Structures are given as C-alpha cells and as structure tokens.
Amino acid sequence: MEWIRRAGDVGAERVEQVERDPDAGGSVRSASSRHTLGGTVETEAAILWQPHTDWSVEPIELDPPKEGEVLVKLAASGMCHSDEHLVTGDLIAPLPIVGGHEGAGVVEEVGPGVTGLAPGDHVVFGFIAACGQCPPCATGHSNLCDTGAELMSGHQMDGTVRHHARGQDVATLLCLGTFAPYTVVNQASCVKILDDIPLDRACLVGCGVTTGWGSSVYAADVRPGDNVAVIGIGGIGASAVQGARLAGAETIFAIDPVELKRTLAPSFGATHVAASVDEAFALIEQETWGHMCDKVICAMGVGSGAMMESILGITAKRGRVVVTNIHPALESSVTMNLMFLTLLEKQVVGSIFGSANIRSDIPKLLKLYRDGQLDLDSMITNTYKLGDVNQGYQDMRDGKNIRGVLIYDS
Ligand code: CXF
Ligand code: ZN
C-alpha cells in the first residue's frame, strides 16, 4: 500500500491509499491520460507543428518534474489571442510547441528543490514566471523577471524540455503548455490560490484579465474622474474596462469593430462604445468637451504602427497611451508626430502583463472576483473540450468570444 494522488482528482482535496498492481507498474489511469507516479505521464496536447496550420491534438509523453519543477493536472485553460499569434506568425517561438499559457489546476507531484508547493495545492500559472530573486523582482517589477524571460524560450531552465511527441522534443508556450490535461512547469510560474476559487475562472487571471486590469490600474495609472479609451474588447480589453471602472474613471470609451463586443462592453463598465478609433474621435471630443482621453489602452489583437497617429489624436494633453497588445515581430515603423508629442506632453508606454505582479495581483484579483467586484463569469463566452481547440479559435476569429476556455476532464 502507498499514498498516491489520483490522476483524475482536480478540484477535490483527495489523497488516497491504494493497492498498486505490480504488473501495471503502479500506474493510474484517467480517460485521456496514463500516469505512473514519479514516471512518465502519457497524455495528450494541442501542438503547433508549423505556422498557418491547425493545432494538432495528439498523444504526448511528459517527463517527471526535475529540479524546481512541478507536475500539474490542469482543470482549465484560457484561449488567449497570443496562442493565435503563433499560428499567424506574429509571435515567433520554437516549433513544435504545445500551446496555452492561461492555466489553473492542482499540483500532482513536485520535483527536487521545490519549496512552497505541495501535491494538492491549487495553482494558477503566471504567464511570466517570477523568481523573486532577480533585480526586476527585487525592485517590484516581477513582470520583467529574468527567470521569466528565460522561460519564455519555451524550454526549461536547464535548456531541455519535458514534453515529447512523435519521438521528438516539444517546447511549451512560455514554458507552460496549458493546452493539455497535464504539464510540467517551473515553480516560479506557479501562484498558489485558495481551494474554493473555481479553477475554470481562475485560469483567466494568469494572463488576459491581469494584463488588462493592470494596463488600466498600473500602466495607465487611471485616476478617479479620468476619461479612458480601451481599443479592442477581447479578454484583455474587457478587463482593462473593468480596471478603469474600479479605478474610478468617469467615462470609458470601448472601441471595437465587432458588434457583440460593443454590446457586452457596458456590462464591464464602458460608458460609451464606438466601432473604430476614427468613429470614436467625434464622440470623445463631444463627451469630454474637447479634452479627449487621459488614458488610452491599446488591447486589439495585433496592433499596427500606422494607427498610432489616430490613437494619439484621441489622447488628451499629458495623456498616456499604453501599448499592451503585441505588434508584428518584424514591424518597426510607426506614425507619430513627435512635435505634438513634445508640445502636448503626450506619453506612449509599453506594458507587459499589465505591469502587474503575479504573486500579489493574482490573489488580489481572485479576491475581487469572490467579492463580486471583478466579473470573470461574463468574460467566458464559450467553453470547449481540448479536441475542439481549433473550433474555439475559429470562434475567436469570427468575433464570437470575449474568452473561450478549454475544460479538462476531472
Ligand atoms: C504575450 C506577450 C508576448 C509574449 C507571449 C505572451 N502576452 C499575453 O498573451
Ligand atoms: Zn495571453
């Protein structure tokens, strides 16, 4: 007899004493995964083998966690736009790669040297790991963590990978790979959360929600009475609207070409909607008496440098534009009248993860959710099984989702 954690146990604090069958090698089976404790996990994952192709859902083998790593059984994964950026080639990463970086689940095993995490702990992954030791972490900017930057390579800290398919090594997006019921990640990526937070909601704060909320609250520094514009009302933009509302903005202009998103935006706190920046110009001019927006958050899927001059046009004197969305990796030109930037003291700042801190802000946002101040429920427009991941992304392209979420079998 020995103590094991059942492979199908997400959401339940349950460690069982089981009789191991010596012929079966002490293995535990769930519907889609076979797991030998301390050994390989045979499971499945959505892998991108080439840009401009579908995600391929297929069997993978997962090595046990090494130094500083943990094996996590995932309950859910958000379907962020950044995974789509791998498909379009706007984001460049080593291929093949297991997608997904908005994950929440339960720690199943810990590798050597792991401190502060134990089997049974509920965790959310911060999409940028935070080691707590490097200069950015030590100065309160863990969104720029040096370890996090290394793990963005998609390889573990020792330069190898734990994921394998078709006899090949497979990287994981941001060294997370949440498009799979199991993954192995660095402990620095994990944030322990309370057991009573639903994991299918909690996963969203690992990227999109905190990125959007922090873009308003930290990067833009929205103040009570501010006029704010949010461009792009996906998962990040809807959360930026919520952040601006919580920070006391007076007016919040939600700008999106998709009608469904303009319809949903007021429920997150938008006071006005417009289909484009150009259309928003006259509305903002009228509603702010020509003052324009103190803060503008760029949260469209992929930005375009050619739009910056119009974006600066809806920005007030001393106003700040926060560039949260990604731009194509090879784009290096932008339209911007630098004379007016100087004369009107406008600012353009970049922000990653909403300039937030995974260890303080993830628990904070989940508390706001529990207290009913942050709406995660309405952010989830559709849920999918892993096998339907391509349908989920098609729905995103078709403008049907604020956020799709993959739900794994419990
Ligand atoms: C992105 C930012 C660029 C690297 C990949 C992740 N952020 C959120 O999805
Ligand atoms: Zn993301």
**Nearest CA, atom 9, ligand 1:** 82
The confidence score (pLDDT) of residue 30 equals 53
What is the β-pairing status of strands 272-274 and 251-255?
parallel
Is pLDDT larger for residue 11 or for residue 236?
A: 236
Asked whether residue 324 is assigned to any structural domain, the reply reads yes
Asked whether residue 361 is assigned to any structural domain, the reply reads no
- Asked if residue 55 has pLDDT above 90, the reply is yes
The confidence score (pLDDT) of residue 410 equals 78
Question: How far is it, in rounded angstroms, from Cα 125 to Cα 141?
Answer: 17
Q: Residue 150 Cα, ligand 1 centroid: separation in angstroms?
A: 14
- Asked if residue 257 has pLDDT above 80, the reply is yes
Residues 238 and 146 in one domain: no
> Cα 293 vs. chain centroid, distance in angstroms?
27
Check: CB of residue 58 under 8 Å from CB of residue 140.
no
Residues 323 and 385 in one domain: no
Residues 140 and 103 in one domain: yes
Residues 163 and 312 in one domain: no
Question: How far is it, in rounded angstroms, from Cα 401 to Cα 235?
Answer: 9
Asked whether residue 364 is assigned to any structural domain, the reply reads no
Asked whether residue 396 is assigned to any structural domain, the reply reads yes
CATH code of the domain in which 329 resides: 3.40.50.720
**SS3 (DSSP) at 103:** strand
Give the model confidence (pLDDT) of 151-187 as tens digits: 999 999 999 999 999 999 999 999 999 999 999 999 9
Residues 54 and 153 in one domain: yes
Residues 223 and 312 in one domain: yes
Asked whether residue 291 is assigned to any structural domain, the reply reads yes
What is the β-pairing status of strands 34-36 and 122-125?
unpaired
Give the model confidence (pLDDT) of 60-78 as tens digits: 999 999 999 999 999 999 9
Handedness of CA 191, 192, 193, 199 (dihedral sign): positive
Q: Which residues line ligand 1 (CB under 6 A)?
A: 80, 82, 91, 127, 207, 326
- Asked if residue 32 has pLDDT above 90, the reply is no
Q: Please state at what angle helix 389-397 crosses helix 81-88, rounded to 10 degrees.
A: 90
Q: Phi/psi at 379 (nearest 5 deg)?
A: -70, -25
Model confidence band, residue 38 (pLDDT cutoffs 50, 70, 90) = confident
Q: Residue 229 Cα, ligand 2 centroid: separation in angstroms?
A: 21
**Nearest CA, atom 1, ligand 1:** 82
Residues 189 and 215 in one domain: no
141 lies in which domain range? 37-206+379-407
Asked whether residue 372 is assigned to any structural domain, the reply reads no
Whole-number percent of the chain with pLDDT over 70: 91
- Asked if residue 384 has pLDDT above 50, the reply is yes
- Asked if residue 283 has pLDDT above 90, the reply is yes
Give the mutation target among 91, 176, 209, 210 for probing the ligand 1 site: most ligand atoms within 8 A of CB: 91
Residues 181 and 274 in one domain: no
Residues 60 and 16 in one domain: no
Q: Which of 305, 334, 351 is the last residue of a domain?
A: 351
Asked whether residue 373 is assigned to any structural domain, the reply reads no
The confidence score (pLDDT) of residue 21 equals 36
Q: Which of 351, 368, 387 is the last residue of a domain?
A: 351
Burial category of 33 from C-beta neighbours within 10 Å (exposed 0-12, middle 13-18, buried 19 and up): buried
The number of folded domains in the chain is 3
Is pLDDT larger for residue 273 or for residue 5?
A: 273
Mean pLDDT of the chain: 92
Residues 238 and 316 in one domain: yes
CATH code of the domain in which 147 resides: 3.90.180.10
Looking at the DSSP assignment, which residues form a beta bridge with residue 191?
A: 124
**SS3 (DSSP) at 168:** strand
Q: Residue 176 Cα, ligand 1 centroid: separation in angstroms?
A: 12
Contacts of 198 (CB under 8 A, 6+ apart): none
Residues 140 and 279 in one domain: no
Asked whether residue 358 is assigned to any structural domain, the reply reads no
Residues 1 and 44 in one domain: no
Model confidence band, residue 219 (pLDDT cutoffs 50, 70, 90) = very high
